[in-house]
Structures are given as C-alpha cells and as structure tokens.
Chains A and B, each alone.
Chain A
Amino acid sequence: MKKSIAQTIGMHKESYLLMTPYMIFFLLFTILPVVLSIVLGFTYYNMIEPPRFVGWYNYIRLFLDDDIFIIAVKNTLFFAFVTGPVSYLLSFLVAWMINDLSKTLRSIATTVFYIPTIIGVSVFPMWRLIFSPDAYGYLNGMLMGLGLISEPVAWLLDKEYILLILIVVQLWMSLGISFLAFVAGLQTVDRSLYEAGVMDGIKNRFQELWYITLPSMIPQLIFGAVMQIVISFSVADVSIQLAGFPSTEYAGETMVTHIMDYGSIRYEMGYASAMAVVLFFMMVFTNRLVTKILQKVGI
C-alpha cells in the first residue's frame, strides 16, 4: 500500500488539475471580489480616476456621517431578526408537519411551499397590484368593502406600512433551500431511534422531536441556518420592487439597497465596498453565533 513520493505527487497532480477549471472562475468571480471589497473599502474610487487611499475614512463616514446608512442597518437588522428566525422556524415546522404525509402528498406540499422561492421575482407585480394605493388595489378594495377603512391607503408609499409589508412578502418567499434540506433531512432520521425512543418512554411527538429528530438533524439545521442568515441579511429585491428605489423617506432602505445606491448610481465604489465589508462581517458573526447555539440542540 505504500506509495512512492513520485506516485503521490502524480495523484495529487490529477486532483489539482480536475479542480483547476472551476477554481479559475471561483477565485476570479467569488474570492477576488471579496478581497477587492476589503481593499477598495479603504479607498475613494469613482471608476474614472484611479483609487485613492483614504484609510478608515469610509468607515468613519458610514457610522458618523451617513444617517441613511444607520436607517439601512436598522432595517437590515430588523429584517434579519424578524424574518430570519421566523422563516427558519417556519421552514422546519412545515417540513416536520408534512413529513407524516404520504409520499405523493408530501411531494405536492414540498412544491407548494417552495414555489414562492422559485417565482418570487416574477410575482412582484402581483403584490404591487394587491397593495396598489388607489381603491382599485385589492387590499384597499377589500377593506373598503368591509367598511374597515373609508379612504384608500397608500400601502407602499406610507412609511408606517412599508417595512411591515416587505416583511410579509419576504416571509412568503423565504421557505427556500433550507426548507428543502429539512424535508430531506427528516426522511433520513434513523427509524430505529424512534422505536428505541418509545421504549425509553417518549410519549408524544414533541418529545420525539426534541430528543430524537432535532439532534439527528444538526448538520441540516446548520446548513439551513447559514442559508437563512444570508437570505435575511441580503434583502433588497423585494424593497426595490415594492417600495421603490429609494423608498419613501428611506423607510424600506436596507444595506444592500444602500450599497446599490452608492455603487451603481453614484459610482462611489470605495464607499459601497466598505458597506459590503460591514455586511459580510455581520453575516459571519451571526453565522458563528447561530452555529454555536445549534450544536447545543436536544442535549
């Protein structure tokens, strides 16, 4: 079984060669942009003049001089801490509930709950129709028909309601890939554990869930959490499409819409990059924290 050094190198050469085509694109379009973000974050760069080093200026400006960035951070955190956990729990709960169904019913249910993620972007016009500001809007029409309001409400223009509506729509789309991972994970839990559980005096489905199902699914739970954190921190599309860009008094501004504002409209690439770096570290930090918590499940 012993391999000579030459053979070992030969084998590794094949491994590296197989990875090369992918790695070129991965490094160029995924890793390099992140490194570039960190570098550009310390510069002033408008795409016309070469980048000029400005030290921590962008970061100081972000937190001390940009009121809208503070609104964006608040909204992003609000999104992350409301839609993140809610849709994570909902993903698991729905997956767990449909797990007892027959195979066909479970497939149908899986599709019904995953469809919003697939078609989310196509259906934004329908949400605009539902929340449209005149009496022809479906929500206004319905509420006026019921006599609950006497005048149409400009749902997507009124900063009282914007964030709430965005959260509802975001929740609608958010039973995403983590939901699929949970559906799959639940089916792989070792059946004999449940039998053993019955012997050991587990009485109802909730005890079964906490003592057997959850601990067996920790890898899927962590994968789901990583994906959910990313999704809930990078909310932008729903805000741009429903609340407008910019939204009324920036009520729907999130960190990503703020990045897009400075990046693709004002061409302040350095400043936008600094924001992306802040957002990225927020995600990494949350991810670490959540992973730690999840590893304690069921013990």
Chain B
Amino acid sequence: MFTIAKKKSGAKARRSLAGNIAIFGFVALLGLFSAFPFIFAIITSLKPLDELLQFPPRLIVMRPTLNNFTDLFQLASNMWVPLSRYIFNTAFISVVGTVLHVLFAAMAAYPLAKHKFPGKNLIFSVIVMALMFVPQVTFIPQFVLMSQMNIVNTYGALILPWIGASLGLFLMKQFIEQLPDAILEAARIDGASEYKTFFSIIWPNSTPAIMTVVIFQFINLWNYAPKELIFGESLKVFRMALEQIVAGDPIARMGAGSAAAVILMIPPIIVFVLLQRKVVETMTFAGIK
C-alpha cells in the first residue's frame, strides 16, 4: 500500500511545463558552452592545412583528414628521445602513483572510519583542513624539501607527493564509514586479524570508492607536468613532450597542436565515462558535517 501511494503522488511537487522548458533550454545552452572547446579541438584536428589557414576562419570542417595526427608523429620522430619513452614515463608515474595512493589511503581510511583510538578526531580534522593545501600553495616548500632530499629530476619528485594526497583518503574514509558494522563483527568473530579484515572485507567492499579515487588520481597524474621538477629530457612526461613539439611554431602547427590536445584529452575522458556511476555513488558520502 505504501509503495502504491508513493507512485500515485509522484513524490514531488507539481512541475509546470513552462518551467520544464525553461530549465531544459538553460541546461542545453550551458552544455553547449561546456562541450564547445572539446568539439572545437576535435574539428580543428581534422582540418586539412588550407582549411586551417582559411579566412575568415570557419567552425566546420569540409574535408576531414588525419594528416595532423600523422604530422604530429612525424615531428615527434625527429626528437632526440623517442616518443615511446615519454608515454612510458606518463604511464609509469600514473600507475605507480595511483596504486600506492589508493592502497595506502584505503589502509589509513579503515581505522579512521571504524576504529576508536586516541588522536583519531585530530587526525581527521587535519585531513579535512589539508583539502585546502592544494599543490600550488605548498609547491615552494615542497620543492625546497625535494631538493634537500635530492629527488628533484627523478621519478620520485613526480610520484611521491601524490601518494599522500588528502582527497583520496577523505573520500575513502567517508565511504568506509557507511559500510555496515555487522560484516566487520562477523569477520572478528571468525578470528580474523585487523589486517585480514581489511584485505578480505573492507577492500572488496570499497570498490566504488577505490574506483573513484583511481579516476581522480589518474586524471591528476595524466595532466601533471611540472616543468620545475623535471628537466632531464628522458624523464619528461608525454604532455611536456607534446607541448614542446607544438610550442615551436604555434601558427604552422595549429593542426598538430589540436591533434596533441585531442590525444591528451581522450584517455581521461574514457576513464571517466566508464567509471562515472562509481564516482557518483561515492560522492554521495563526500559531505562534511
């Protein structure tokens, strides 16, 4: 009976048709603005040279071609270090930085969410506070620190600071907190140690949160290219290499530049689209009380 009543009332206040149309129009317009540079990059990357240099510039492509992409790789093949090296660097820091961060953050999130111990509240409030320590703000002292540790211009400079990122731990803790205590009790009665409980109960049950942190961390690391930390050519990441190729001559390489932008933006978009549901599920618990 209860469910029938729910369906009947529609559960929500009356919507007016005019209101729906106005809202839809507004969202559509904003969506267009939001997607525009993305579509613009794809269109530009498909333009042949004469269309790129056409006056006045046009927003559509008449005769699409993949020349810009082949040009880009042509230019890249003239470089001193092969492009595959830059791709390896990016993949390496993304994978190592993501795996270690997710594992360590989940391990730390479990006691913060489910145990009672002295110092717990203090630690958690420091972590919430640390959401405000964006890399840009701590960059200078971090650089000083890394140069003292002699890790500037190594993979360490690119990876290590990301392992202790605070957003991942925060999201994990919020997610684990809402897992029912009953499953933990069951494991404890069976005599599992806390470590065993973590790996056999908490970890498999936190998949949405783990996936979410993986996405955020992967996107961050994929987009990360701190020129101040890496100056050795063979340690540079993919994004730096592409920017370097394009920077040579922005006008003539307009097409190659758009091709580079397209190549750089596709992987994070794919990852986000595939795992979007998990993100939304996890963000449900992201509130700060």
Q: A residues near B, CB below 8 A? A: 11-12, 14-16, 18-19, 21-34, 36-37, 40, 45, 47, 90, 94, 97-98, 100, 107, 109-116, 118-123, 125-130, 135-138, 141-142, 144-145, 172, 175, 177, 180-181, 183-185, 187-188, 191-192, 194-195, 197-198, 202-205, 207-208, 217-223, 226-227, 229-230, 234, 236, 256, 259-260, 263-264, 269, 272-273, 276, 279-280, 283-284, 287
CB contact list, B80-134 vs A, under 8 A: 104-105, 107-108, 110-112, 115, 117-118, 123, 126-134
A22, B108: Cβ atoms under 8 Å?
yes
Which of B27, B31, B133, B261 is the one whose CB lies under 8 Å from A123? B261
Pick the most buried of A31, A47, A223, A230: most chain B CB atoms within 10 A of its CB: A223
B288 contacts the other chain (Cβ, under 8 Å)?
A: yes
**Chain A interface main SS type:** helix
Interface centre among B134, B166, B239, B277 (most CB of A within 10 A): B134
B269 on the interface (CB 8 Å rule)?
A: yes
A259 and B286: CB pair below 8 A? Answer: no
What is the interface of chain B mostly: helix, strand, loop, or mixed?
Answer: helix
Nearest Cβ on chain A to B181's Cβ, whole angstroms = 14
Which residues on A sit within 8 Å (CB–CB) of B194?
Answer: 11, 14-15, 18
B287 proximal to A (CB < 8 A):
yes
Cβ-Cβ contact count across A and B, 8 Å cutoff: 312
Of residues B13, B27, B41, which shows the largest number of chain A Cβ atoms within 10 Å of its Cβ? B13
How far apart are the CA atoms of A280 and B223 in the complex, in Å?
24
In the assembled complex, which residues on chain B have CB atoms less than 8 Å from the CB atom of A113?
30-31, 34
Given A31-B130, A198-B9: A144 in contact with B31 (beta carbons within 8 A): no
Q: Does the CB pair A97–B283 fall under 8 Å? A: no
A296 to chain B, nearest CB (A): 15
> By CB atoms of chain A within 10 A, which of B5, B216, B257, B284 has the most?
B284
